[in-house]
A and B are shown apart, each in its own frame.
Chain A
Amino acid sequence: MSFYGLIWRLLPGPKSVKALLAVLLFAGVVAVLFNWVFPAIAPLMPFNETTVGE
């Protein structure tokens, strides 16, 4: 049982292709996090307030 092992096995091709695909997959995940996930959770963080009042 291993999540990352499972992904590795599902990636097609020889080792070098697998490695390249794994890097691309990781880059894709980071892009999704940077563009959608993190901007969505940032407002919930306590250190971004700069105004007085409401």
Chain B
Amino acid sequence: MIRHAIAEGLVVLRERSAVSVILALALGVPIALAGVGLTLHKWLGPVADLSGQKSSVAVLLHPQIESGERRRWIAELATDHPDWSVSEVSGSELAERLQRWFPYLEELMDSGDATLPSLVEILTDNPDLVTELEDRTEVLAVGPRSSIQQTLGLVARRLALIVGVISFVLLAVAVLLAAVWVHLELYRHADEVIIMRLVGATEGTIRGPFLVAVAIPGAVAGALSVAGSLTTVSGLSRLASALGLSAISVPPSVLVLQIAASVFLPLLAAVITLARHSADATKS
């Protein structure tokens, strides 16, 4: 019956080609937008404070301090200030962060000539208290209380919220469109559905063509959204490179998520609509 479902689903698509194109676009655009948003979020992750819960203050320690002494110092700090969240940023992560903003440092970092100071990040509700650490001998410098990380984080969070809301609303409209379309097709094919039931067709046989008719625009939407997000991110990456920032690329997991959402969401809408229709048919 899979062949029947595909053949009949294609017939439905042919008869309603305009609706299927609109559905593919309606699904593809918000999913592409969400994909770009997620990519930028991941790109900004290491350099921006995206949590927004507390202030993050950077504390640079003297490079000469040995690792054992450094760990002891951090442990004491955590004991003295239980409300602080103290974490050590590894050398490799610090190098990655520096390279993100200053890509030309990559060669220097790789050569091993650069000795990076140890960086400790302190998350706290009261960043003023952290400035007291400046007097300690182990401390090289204490970063600003409102770091660029926080500013970037604030901007990124607001952008994420706006993009998220727009994507959600557009996606909800697209899913609703899929549900309404299936609903209308069921009414258009009501006689056929009744006949199919009467001659012994299972619900799977009846639903198959409608699911195919929704899954195909969903798959097209997936391709559109992947192409859209790759193109947009590529443009943003060129802009970032021109500003001396590191390149941006869409993570494969985001691409997979986009394709899955494009196919799964309209299918879910169709399954719910078909199940409701089936339940109504039982009642009547």
Partners in one complex: no
